[in-house]
Structure 1
């Protein structure tokens, strides 16, 4: 079963085509990497899938339902979690409160009385924090956390709406090599156990080739290669792109 189906997606900015006729599908429980050099169109593609940008043409279907034209909030409610290159947390709130806010939204309780909000979904939030390995930091403010731990908070928030699809835009950006390995190993373990489909972009090729079931390569807005990790690694055009000659 395909969780996500993308058909001939196009996005232009002025006269520049950032994404050109991109088509792919993502299976249930599959981890799919989207790679390419800077400016290839990866983030633009992600932002269309998430509802932040509307494609000029093409179709996006999530679990068989068209999502083009939906807002990011509406896409989120369809079962899509998202993490970003730069972490997005409420720094004045505790780690647990960040996850509680996501749970309040998921359960459509954002308009609950503020004095009662801190009491709601505490156990559920703590269960998710334990899942990502930071339950011991539940009371700490996000404003004082190390960057690697902030990435785990963001992952916990993304898991709060019980997603069927997780979009991760450069999840290890800004992290030390050891932290990158640990975060992606943790993420892969969680999503495989829960059957969550993942589409992620990443510049660290060790992370990509270790964890992706399948890899797509984007160059100047076009999908130029797709397949199993070993096949993509040996593709002559992919080698050219990463040697700086992919525009030829």
Structure 2
């Protein structure tokens, strides 16, 4: 499989505090890769370096083989990297479809041309994206009245409007009910399968991670301590120590049924 994203020795220090230390990994085309770890492990700092919000102290980031280290978020976005955030970022005063239309207008570099008649542009494509995330029936509702889970799905549609090669999802199910979490990550897994998008996501819900991730990386105190399959991570003593102080932390499906 081709490598979509690669980091080499990625490091970020804030004064004397090392938030991310010498992190190296690869993400392949069509892979759903989870980055997990306790609070303060460095996950968001890592994401912010990948997307250009923070410049690494040391190390490099490569996208499709090109060095994008230190480039601005806009430059990285233009290269085909989308992102969703822990806290949803939509225009509350606009309707659902208008939010997606604005993303499509930006993607097509039509922002200044579009001001007088933006509401008529890219409606069909916007409806297609809303249908993809199950939001077509709410197209004309204002975002201010949406349930939180629906805002998360809308944010995913907005990210997909840019036709990303790589999608970074920072705690995509935060604040959602258990059933909503499962539905959103199943939707993401379907998009990965059907569109070949590569996804790197952070998540605290281990049920979500184990059900959908193709591979899992574990950060602790800024260092990558494990990288492997679900079963490898489930049985890794260092991962168990990080999460539950040495107790058995993650049950397999068979063990869960027997419990």
Q: Which moved more, 1:106-115 or 1:230-239?
A: 106-115
Partner of 2:136: 135
Cα distance in 2 for partners of 1:147, 1:244 equals 33
Task: Give the C-alpha shift of residue 244 in structure 1.
Answer: 4.2
2:105 alignment partner, SS class: helix
Partner of 1:82: 83
Deviations 1:136-169 (A, max 9, x none): 1010000000000000010000100100000000
Quote the RMSD (CA, aligned, Å): 1.1
What TM-score do you get using the length of structure 2 for normalisation? 0.93
User: Is 2:12–2:20's contact at 8 Å kept on the other side of the alignment?
Assistant: yes
Alignment of 1:21-36 (within 5 A): 21-36=22-37
Cα distance in 2 for partners of 1:131, 1:113 equals 25
2:110 alignment partner, SS class: coil
2:23 alignment partner, SS class: strand
Partner of 1:57: 58
Cα distance in 2 for partners of 1:168, 1:160 equals 15
Cα distance in 2 for partners of 1:191, 1:151 equals 17
Task: Give the C-alpha shift of residue 113 in structure 1.
Answer: 3.9
Partner of 1:161: 162
Partner of 1:111: 112
Partner of 1:203: 204
1:172 alignment partner, SS class: coil
> Which ranges in structure 1 are unaligned for 5 or more consecutive residues?
none
Aligned residues: 246
Deviations 1:92-145 (A, max 9, x none): 000011011111111001111412111111111110000000001010000000
Task: Give the C-alpha shift of residue 64 in structure 1.
Answer: 1.1
Partner of 1:186: 187
Cα distance in 2 for partners of 1:14, 1:204 equals 32
Cα distance in 1 for partners of 2:192, 2:61 equals 22
Cα distance in 2 for partners of 1:30, 1:70 equals 24
Partner of 1:99: 100
Partner of 1:43: 44
Partner of 2:70: 69
Partner of 2:214: 213
Deviations 1:54-95 (A, max 9, x none): 001111000111111211111111001100001000000000
Q: Return structure 1 stretches of 4+ with deviation > 4 angstroms.
A: none
Distance 1:14 1:103, change over 3 A: same
Deviations 1:201-238 (A, max 9, x none): 00000000111000000000000001001011000000
